[in-house]
């Protein structure tokens, strides 16, 4: 919303995960030789480094598994892959080019990690933050509470009770079927565009402290109370740090790529190929 960093074409780099096994009764990580052979399959060795590389491709939740379970299952997975790969007698063009592309992608990922290791500096972050805040235009925020009900009759009944002086928050806690009921129906602060249109239209029609008539949305019938209005607070540097860091890293990477392209001999060839053919994936694996 505040920042738009994404270019049409940009390198997608993988976040590298470094995982060191700490198995009982085994040498600690600083004394481990990564070339240690953990299995030999028909003469092909699987090393500790192979295991760790496989783990680096796993989703973070897998790292919550026990070390022994993870070690054994990753090893079995690698053995299965090796056995299946040996059944492939002839690599087709698709297999060869996939391997080439993956090798380039891995090298590119490692290069990106190295290039961005010290990017950005704190000073660069401060400069970009100040520049961003100079152009910052806060949106108006609204704070509202609601009581969500299944039927219009229920909603009309509660509106009458509220108009007679009963406490809105207490009724919300007792009758609302929405997830905000334990908080007295409070939805906190939001900007226009975050709620469904019918709800927002009702909020915009209310004055501070007013309660709406029953409003129908896809979720049911709402009774809405406007609790507050304000301009969005200006975010501090720490709140924007992830976005600012991403922008600075992407800008640095784009600049580096422009530099590399200027120094490289890149030639594009005109062809009469119908560009739609690149979607005919089956052709690649039939040759």
pTM of the model: 0.63
pLDDT of the residue at 1: 37
Name which of 110, 107, 116 is nearest 246 in CA terms. 116
Can you give the pLDDT at residue 285? Answer: 84
pLDDT of 146-173, one tens digit each?
Answer: 999 999 999 999 999 999 999 999 999 9
Contact yes or no for 62/74 (Cβ under 8 A): no
Indicate whether 15 pLDDT > 60: no
Angle at 249 between CA 248 and CA 253, to 5 degrees: 115
| Dist. CA 259–CA 152, nearest whole Å | 65
- Confidence tier at 3 by pLDDT (50, 70, 90): very low
Mean pLDDT rounded to a whole number for the chain: 88
User: Looking at per-residue confidence, does 285 or 236 come out higher?
Assistant: 236
Domain ranges of the chain: 1-87, 94-136+242-255+271-287, 140-231
Q: Tell me if the domain spanning 140-231 has CATH number 3.40.1550.10.
A: no
Pairing state between β 186-191 and 215-217: unpaired
């Amino acid at each position: 919303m505040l920042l738009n960093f994404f270019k049409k074409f940009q390198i997608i780099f993988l976040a590298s995960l470094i995982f060191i096994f700490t198995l009982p009764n085994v040498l600690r990580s600083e004394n481990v030789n990564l070339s240690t052979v953990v299995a030999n399959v028909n003469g092909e060795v699987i090393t500790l480094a192979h295991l760790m590389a496989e783990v680096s491709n796993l989703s973070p939740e897998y790292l919550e598994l026990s070390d022994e379970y993870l070690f054994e299952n990753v090893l079995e997975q690698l053995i299965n892959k090796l056995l299946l790969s040996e059944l492939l007698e002839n690599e087709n063009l698709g297999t060869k080019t996939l391997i080439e592309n993956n090798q380039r992608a891995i090298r590119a990922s490692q290069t990106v990690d190295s290039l961005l290791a010290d990017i950005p500096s704190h000073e660069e972050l401060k400069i970009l933050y100040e520049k961003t805040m100079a152009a910052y235009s806060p949106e108006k925020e609204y704070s509202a509470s609601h009581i969500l009900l299944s039927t219009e009759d229920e909603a009309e009944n509660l509106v009458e009770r509220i108009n007679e002086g009963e406490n809105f928050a207490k009724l919300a806690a007792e009758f609302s079927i929405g997830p905000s009921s334990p908080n007295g129906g409070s939805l906190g602060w939001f900007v226009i565009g975050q709620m469904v249109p019918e709800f927002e239209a009702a909020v915009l029609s209310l004055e501070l402290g007013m309660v709406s008539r029953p409003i129908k949305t896809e979720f049911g019938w709402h009774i809405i109370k406007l609790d507050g209005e304000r301009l969005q607070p200006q975010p501090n540097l720490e709140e924007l740090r992830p976005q600012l860091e991403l922008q600075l890293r992407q800008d640095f990477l784009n600049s580096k790529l422009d530099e590399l392209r200027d120094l490289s001999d890149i030639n594009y060839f005109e062809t009469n190929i119908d560009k739609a053919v690149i979607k005919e994936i089956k052709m690649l694996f039939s040759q």
